[in-house]
Amino acid sequence: MGEPFYIRATWFIEQIRSERHPNARSLVEHFDISDATAHRDIDALIKQYSAPITFDGEEKGYRFLDCGDKSPNKKYTLPLPNRWVSSQEIFLLALAKEIMGDDLTREILSGLFEKMKPSNALDYSQEMALERVSYKGMGFYRQREGVFQKVLEALTRLEWIEICHHQIATPPQACWVNILPLHLVNYINKWYLIAEKEGRLRTYSLSRITEIRKGKNQGTPAFSTEEIKEKLEEVFGIFVTDEEHPLEEITLRCLPQRTPFFESWVFHPKQEQKRDREGRLEIRFLSTVNRELIGEIVRFADQLEVLGPPTLQRELSAFLDRAARLQGSLP
């Protein structure tokens, strides 16, 4: 009895990976099968299993499609090794596909699922993700189609790009910026890009990027992944690259009756908290004084007291005054 198809297919792909350029005759000689069976195997690899291989006339054998592609937009295709996966892992992948905000990214993940078929567990997991789990995203920024995918490609290749970024101003201002993407952050239903610009780290909201084009190469990154992650972990919010405002210790105190709630509320994973003699909870963490921090505190303005720093107390008071005037409660 001859070897099963998957053994022959695995051997054939390994020969291609070793750049030995196998062909139907290679299968015939190695496995002692008929010429017709060898051609059916290769045809199945390409049509049924989407193997990225093509016949090379010069080598008189097969190679990966990637091998002759020298273009800057080259996409690498990698074979997945045979592995057992749990239904929970497949379900979470199906769930990730459904909650992705970018249509092109969702389409790519759908293509991955198609390549993984046939599988009853796969079909069941996709059905469960569609019918029994919902994602309700509110208060998020819309981003233009294709922006996420282009940023992700530049990030994985570590390539400089130019982005047309709309700054928050009155009226809104747009400018082209040459950057090196270094890190993507999903923060409160919004995607942010941490990138290098002129030797400094900057943060850009993907929703404010309208166009992307090839950038001018300005060298290798000046910042490591560890440095960026440390900033993300140490400081409150998304304004981790703010160099205009100093880091300060934020101290908040809640009403006694709200202590049980705020003991479970996390402003920052590394925050410190303790109860005073009256049962009020004090919360401390590091942050710059910025609009995001003020907005977060305003959500609990009738439950939280700002004990410091003075800069935050002044900014918060000014914000509340402007809000009151806008709503017509002050002359």
Q: Where are the domains of the chain?
A: 5-68, 87-131, 147-234, 248-326
pLDDT in tens, 224-234: 988 999 888 88
Domain 147-234: which CATH number of 2.60.120.260, 3.30.230.70, 2.30.30.30, 3.40.640.10: 2.30.30.30
Mean pLDDT of 60-73: 67
* pLDDT at residue number 21: 94
Give the residue, 131 or 222, on which the prediction is more confident: 222
Q: Two tokens at 297? A: 């505190």
Distance CA 56, CA 63 (A): 6
* pLDDT at residue number 242: 83
Q: What is the mean pLDDT of the chain?
A: 83
* pLDDT at residue number 70: 43
Q: Is the pTM of this model over 0.75?
A: no
The pLDDT confidence band at residue 164, using thresholds 50, 70 and 90, is: very high
Residue closest to 232 by CA, chosen among 272, 274, 182, 294: 182
- Among 20-34, 143-157, 188-202, 300-314, which is the least confidently predicted range? 143-157
Rounded to 10 degrees, the C-alpha dihedral 32/35/37/38 comes to 80
pLDDT in tens, 274-308: 999 999 999 999 999 988 899 999 999 999 999 99
DSSP string over 30-70: HHT--HHHHHHHHHHHHHTS---EEEETTTTEEEEGGGG--
Token pair 């002044």 in the structure block, residue:
314
The pLDDT confidence band at residue 65, using thresholds 50, 70 and 90, is: confident
Give the residue, 309 or 109, on which the prediction is more confident: 309
Domain 5-68 has CATH 1.10.10.10: yes
The pLDDT confidence band at residue 71, using thresholds 50, 70 and 90, is: very low
Percent of the chain having pLDDT more than 90? 44
Q: Two tokens at 67? A: 């091998």
Residues 6+ apart with CB under 8 A from 133: 95, 98
pLDDT tops 70 at residue 78: no
